[in-house]
Chain A
Amino acid sequence: MSKPDTLPPDAPRPRSWLWRAWDSDVAYSFRTSPVAIVAGLVAVIIIVMAALAPFIAPYNPYDPAQLNLMDGFTPPMEPNAFTGNVYWLGTDNQGRDVFSTILYGARISLFVGFSAVLFAMVLGITLGLIAGYRGGWVDSLLMRVADVQLSFPSILIALLIFGVARGFIPPAYRETMAIWVLIVAIGLSDWVQYARVVRGATMVEKGKEYVQAARVIGAHPVKILVRHILPNVMGPVLVIATIGLALAIIAEATLSFLGVGVPPTQPSLGTLIRIGQQYLFSGEWWILLFPSITLLALALAVNLLGDWLRDALNPRLR
């Protein structure tokens, strides 16, 4: 599958990959889409701040030495009645700086989100390759499982996997293992779409001559397939992964909100909202509002990026 050596006379001269990346249709669509730019900026800012939380956050909310219960329930931008300390976004019931808890919380949310997506992606691509290449009963079985799983909401499946895993893990390890269980539960509930895309591409490619030729010269056909198929499905996989990231973040927040996610010692955004909800009726709205806004901004930005990417890679919709 080599490219023709001669370019048509009207084609622009080849330039550096950087220039070509800038000039590509996807980059053009990004530059001309204000929504994509804003969403990209918001996502990048939140991700960078969360990643650098230990360096950015004014306090370490989980270091008991830095906590003062007297600072509890300080409203945003107002001095505390007892200590006179001022916190941008106020403090929670234990005197933790809300801004800092959000940074650390987003860190956990994003960690779980990215890990779950990676897990789902690797699992889905592998199973998709196997199903597409082997065909037969392996394919039927995997796709049946996929169909059944797809007809149930992923949050229910994640809950179930989480519940089962809790049953198997001795109570003493439940807290420390919780975050990994969560990643596996969310990842397992979301592999189907990757598998479907990769399976389809594999079925198309495996009949082609170069795969047969590879077999003749003794190369392992699967290796060849991987090298040819993965670049082909990069676009759709990227779209699924981006939207999957938003879904994983939401799933993690939901499970943590329901009290079956990360342990309270490592609060994610969902846990913070769960805590904040308890103080809604007593008027401490900031404990709820700021983590909610962060979660919404993050999920919305990633969702918008995924939406835009899908349109940008699908020229028919333009």
Chain B
Amino acid sequence: MLAFIIRRLFQSVIVMLAVALVSFSLFRFVGDPIVSMVGQEATLAEREALREALGLNDPFVVQFWNFIARAVQGDFGISYRLQQPVMELILSRLPATLELALISGFFAFVLGVGFGVYTALRRRGWLSNAIMTASLIGVSLPTFLIGVLLIWVFAVELQWLPSFGRGETVRLNDWWTTGFLTPSGRASLVLPAITLGLYQMTLIMRLVRAEMLEVLRTDYIKFARARGLTNRAVHFGHALKNTMVPVITITGLQLGSIIAFAIITETVFQWPGVGALFIRSVQAVDVPVMAAYLMLIALIFVIINLIVDLLYYVVDPRLRVGRAHMRH
């Protein structure tokens, strides 16, 4: 168990280093950082002095090492566009994104698994067909279009819900502000959360359905039926548990991509999160923010991957290699 965790941690560090390399290369080679910082009018001598001061003349490995050392301390430099420390910018916007992602992910998972199981068990029912058709529309609808159409119906025509921003927020500590505690904050969360969660929900649902149908065809399910177990036991005891093993992995990754997809949702709803910050940075080629965002997303993915691996380990006894394998 411990060896397993250590091995996974080691792999995570490798992945982070690889992403850091990409991130650093972005920082170093996309555009000229000096020009971006001091503008065109600085003299050659001034630029060279700054170049030396920033260590840009050091060997690549040394620069990379310094980049990592600074990144570990949360120092990603100053945004070209906003002239503020990148980490401060990201931290101030992270709570908005995390709250949105958590709510969306929760509903996507609960509804996705529920609908997936239902449509797998009632394969030929009309409600299943309706849900499957709706899910296909859900997969085909681009996220931004869902958002725009929701705004049109619920904000413009019906005027039930706000169409942009987080509403009133409450400051919990130095950097965490929450929208959960005020009515306008909660109302503002509804449309973005649906927009962000809908696509993930349909993916999870289709995955659960496909896996469940696969499991229902296996010999052990046939054998469970042949032993006269109740449908309830066969479906929810035997089939669902086996379905969840692969679903956990992919769902975990889905939850990670929710944070990435937040880019789109945040743009549509002018949600003050890190995704909207990232898109502005891409438009303005604001490299320090792009690099930091990339590292942040990678870190979130790595953490989620670790959690998923541990969950996997809990669910599937075959991975618990502590006991002697294949005893006769």
Contacts and interface: CB of A to CB of B under 8 A. Distances in A.
A66 B139 CA distance: 38
A148 B18 contact: yes
A246 B282 CA distance: 25
B285 A166 contact: yes
Given A153-B260, A292-B145, A246 B140 contact: yes
A292 to B, nearest CB: 6
A265 interface: no
A151 B144 contact: no
A304 B136 contact: yes
B290 A160 contact: yes
Interface residues of A, number: 37
B261 A299 contact: no
Q: Which of A164, A246, A259, A285 has the most CB of B within 10 A?
A: A164
Given A167-B30, A254-B144, A292-B149, A259 B283 contact: yes
Contacts of A299: 140-142
B260 A156 contact: yes
B294 A280 contact: no
Interface secondary structure of A, over-half rule: helix
B136 A295 contact: no
Contacts of B141: 296, 299-300
A303 B26 contact: no
A254 B264 contact: yes
Given A152-B301, A168-B30, A296 B282 contact: no
B69 interface: no
Contacts of A280: 148, 151-152, 156
B14 to A, nearest CB: 10
B140 A296 contact: yes
A151 B305 contact: yes
Contacts of A254: 142-144, 264
B140 A258 contact: no
Contacts, number: 105
A315 to B, nearest CB: 14
B137 to A, nearest CB: 6
Q: Which of A163, A288, A296 has the most CB of B within 10 A?
A: A163
Given A153-B261, A280-B151, A258 B267 contact: yes
A155 B145 contact: no
A260 B263 CA distance: 12
B55 interface: no
Nearest to B280: A259
A275 to B, nearest CB: 11
A194 interface: no
Interface string B129-168: 0000000110111111100110110001000000000000
A281 B156 CA distance: 6
B205 interface: no
A253 interface: yes
Contacts of A285: 152
Contacts of A250: 140, 142
A248 to B, nearest CB: 12
B285 A152 contact: no
A210 to B, nearest CB: 33
Interface string A140-173: 0000000010011101100110111011100000
B145 A159 contact: no
Contacts of B294: 160
B297 interface: yes
Q: Which of A153, A277, A300 has the most CB of B within 10 A?
A: A153
Contacts of B142: 250, 253-254, 257, 270, 295, 299
7 contacts: A151-B301, A153-B260, A167-B26, A280-B148, A292-B145, A300-B140, A303-B136
Given A253-B145, A260-B282, A300-B136, 7 more contacts: A148-B18, A151-B256, A159-B279, A160-B290, A167-B285, A257-B144, A304-B136
